[in-house]
Amino acid sequence: MTENVSLQAKTRSSRGKMQAKKQRKEGVVPGIYYDREGTNIPLNLGYGAIQAAQERAHNQVIYLQIQNEDGTESSKPALIWDIQFHPVKGLIQHVDFVGVDMKREVKMDIPVEFVGEPVGVDNGGVVNAYRDSVPVSCLPGNIPEKFEIDISELDIGDALYFSQVSMPKGVARETEEDLLVVGVSRPQQPESEEEEEPVESGESEGSEEPES
């Protein structure tokens, strides 16, 4: 888990693609905050600030410090729900936040990162990654950044399941199914074509003897 991340934001009254395009040129990223009560708050965020928050927080709670148009301020704990990027430039175009109650559990898919070189690879095996994330439930303040899974001892034919992934305190598996996460297998051998038996001279399949 990472340290608390705060992000300054301002409520946004202007809407529309043209206005959003103009704001982006000025280094402002449009966003929106949603919560369980159906509250939708359009926001403006500084590009550098949201980029830094994204890099630091990953799937952690971000405390939005929202400055309202009437001059009041409010702090809302939230998760980044979705980020839209420019298809060519890769710049952040829009951000969706979802509000969380710090006393209520959330369900999350947490990324997995494989560490080490399996002994099975040295023996000619191939690593098969079946999942890039696993589902868990926990309080927002306990959300793991990722699971580092040591696969160095896996040999050919070995596999690692979700039940073997150690859960931090306060984090539970959000499925009863024991998901296959990663394994090491033998490389597939190319299928060899069976050689056709040559037909002997003078013989052909289905031929009949000539009448005398």
CATH number, domain of 57, equals 2.40.240.10
* Domain shared by 120 and 67, yes or no: no
Alpha-carbon dihedral 87, 92, 93, 97, rounded to 10 degrees: 130
Among residues 42, 66, 99, the one where a domain terminates is 99
Q: Assign residue 176 the CATH number of its domain.
A: 2.170.120.20
Among residues 40, 75, 99, the one where a domain terminates is 99
Cα 194 to chain centroid distance, Å, stands at 44
Q: Which residues contact 145 (CB under 8 A, 6 or more apart)?
A: 1, 2, 58, 59, 60, 110
Q: What is the pLDDT of residues 146-169, one digit of tens each?
A: 999 999 999 999 999 999 999 999
Residue 91 confidence (pLDDT) above 60: yes
Q: Does residue 212 lie within any of the structural domains?
A: no
Q: Does residue 62 lie within any of the structural domains?
A: yes
Bridge partners (DSSP) of residue 75 are: 65
**Number of domains forming the structure of the chain:** 2
For residue 159, give Cα distances in angstroms to 15, 52, 138, 198. Answer: 51, 37, 26, 45
196 pLDDT band, cuts 50/70/90, is low
Cα–Cα distance, 212 to 203 (Å, whole number) = 18
* Domain shared by 94 and 123, yes or no: no
Local structure of 201: helix, strand or coil: coil
* Domain shared by 90 and 135, yes or no: no
**pLDDT the model gives residue 10:** 94
Residue 26 confidence (pLDDT) above 90: no
